[in-house]
Chains A and B, each alone.
Chain A
Amino acid sequence: MNYKHFFFFFCLIILSSCKQEVHLHKIEGQQINISDSLQTDQSIESFIKPYREHVNANLDSVLAYAVETYSKSDGEYNTAIGNMMADAVYEQSNPVFKTRTGEDIDFVLLNHGGIRAIISKGNVTTRTAYEVMPFDNSTVVVKLKGAQVKELIDYLVKAKRAHPISRLNIVLDTDGNFKSAGLNSNPIDFNKTYNVATNDYLYNGGDRMNFFKTNDSLYVLDYKIRNVLIDYFKKIDTLNPVIDNRFIQLKN
């Protein structure tokens, strides 16, 4: 055993005698807001800069003006922002669908969770469309049989969420149970087949909307929801959607 080894063992002995048992005796938790009172790290800032400039060059052109701030949490069973999105999908997609197939879209269903940001009062830009719809999902039209339309309505009644719809009306009674449903104020014929526009995320079973998945009659429009919004914003000039009666619960 040379000196090195001896030193090694000596350390081990010391270690075994002084390896102290530690005990967790106090936990303190807090949350720190990242506010503008904090300093900006300049090296990080200058690293981001070229990326930001490239992206911004594309995004900041003004497309429309929003009269108010619209949020998906404003409204019980339908929201202004959700109504705008579902109506935009109908308005933008139906002409495309019609020229290609000769048929009309009967109604639209999107998902509440798919509204990813608010629209703030003021200028609406390409950036707004990216914020509201950051995902690259596309519009699809699914042929749904009456029975599946029934399932779709049951889903919405049960979910009690403001999933965006267009041209479909649902009324719940005062207890929140299903009362009636219609298509653009006409009754639904559950023996008929309907063209339902949605996005490919929901068609593929997203948000457990399994009524879409059983159907293989699918028409892919190749029209991203984000581009639907961008085209719609360009067209309308002033954005002023409202909460309406398309999905409501009757009050006492």
Chain B
Amino acid sequence: MERREFLQQTAAASALIGLGGIGLTSFAPATKKITILHTNDVHSHIDAFGPDDGRNPNQGGVARRASLIANIRKENPNTLLLDAGDIFQGTPYFNYYGGELEFKLMSMLKYDVATIGNHDFDNGIEGLYAQLPHAKFDFVSANYDFSNTIMDTHVKPYRIIVKDGIKIGIFGLGIELTGLVEKRMYKETKYLDPTETAQEMTRVLKQDEHCDLIICLSHLGYNYRNRPEKISDLKLAELTKDIDLIIGGHTHTFLKKPTVVKNSEGKNMLVNQVGCYGINLGKIDFYFDSDKNKAANGTSIIV
């Protein structure tokens, strides 16, 4: 990763030399835009809902999502596409093909990173493992310890992607599986405390890796009003620092707009979730500036 970044910067420097010294004398403040697209809880909804559906007529569908994403990428090549888990289970496509089609289509749509939801264990951990060859994207989970399972080494705690010189760190968090998934399905997968894991991840991504942007892909759930002790995206946001965006899932929460939350340092950050079944696509644009004056005014969030 470091090597690739260096090469990119070298190329940029060479280009500047070619321009004949301009680069040496002045650096105009540059604005960079990173677009994060995201889905969650698509639950094998490959086809759009039909016109007769009682609740979501003519909504969703992978082929439509594909054209939308392609257009957004055309507009801004510095785009990442992420999924917050529960890719599997919900239509007969899963029962017939075990998730093969879901992973193949996500690969065709050029998903970059996904995390693992509880339903992704529905054909057992072997069932998930069996479909991995069809996924040309990475899985991240920092609080599932897979070391005593068949998934060992196939899921990383985090991934770093550099787009336009902006270093983006993405880590994953999964929900507690006990009581939600049968033990015989998830086998020896160990669940680690999400808050502690997130604190460790942000330390690594911010202090060691010097990421410009930190994203948490979470399948913890947006909020549990009746179980305030249960960890959720809103709680996690308040208890941690340096996370710019939590992309959530599990609770199938339809938000009118992303939620602005104050983190443990009192800084504003975003928590978002886009319902379920591929009905919506989340789009968060991050604008970076090298102008120190602008930076001093803090980050404005427009939702």
Contact = CB atoms under 8 A, between A and B. Distances in A.
Interface of A: 10-11, 14-15, 17-36, 38-45, 47-48, 51-52, 54-55, 58-59, 69, 71, 116-122, 127, 130-131, 134-136, 200-201, 204-208
Nearest to B38: A31
B257 to A, nearest CB: 6
Nearest to A11: B13
Contacts of A47: 104-105, 108
Interface string B97-116: 10001001100110000000
A46 B195 CA distance: 44
A18 B16 contact: yes
Interface string B47-58: 110001111001
B10 A51 contact: no
B290 A20 contact: yes
B302 A29 contact: yes
Contact of A31 (B54, B92, B283): B283
Nearest to B9: A15
A184 B255 CA distance: 42
**B interface: dominant SS:** mixed
Contact of A41 (B27, B70, B279): B70
B231 to A, nearest CB: 16
Interface string B32-74: 1000000000011011100011110011111111111010000
B13 A39 contact: no
Given A27-B244, A34-B48, 17 more contacts: A10-B17, A20-B27, A22-B289, A23-B294, A24-B287, A25-B289, A25-B291, A29-B284, A29-B302, A35-B58, A44-B62, A51-B101, A121-B54, A136-B95, A136-B122, A204-B182, A205-B178
B7 to A, nearest CB: 10
Contacts of B105: 44, 47-48
B21 to A, nearest CB: 10
A59 B178 CA distance: 33
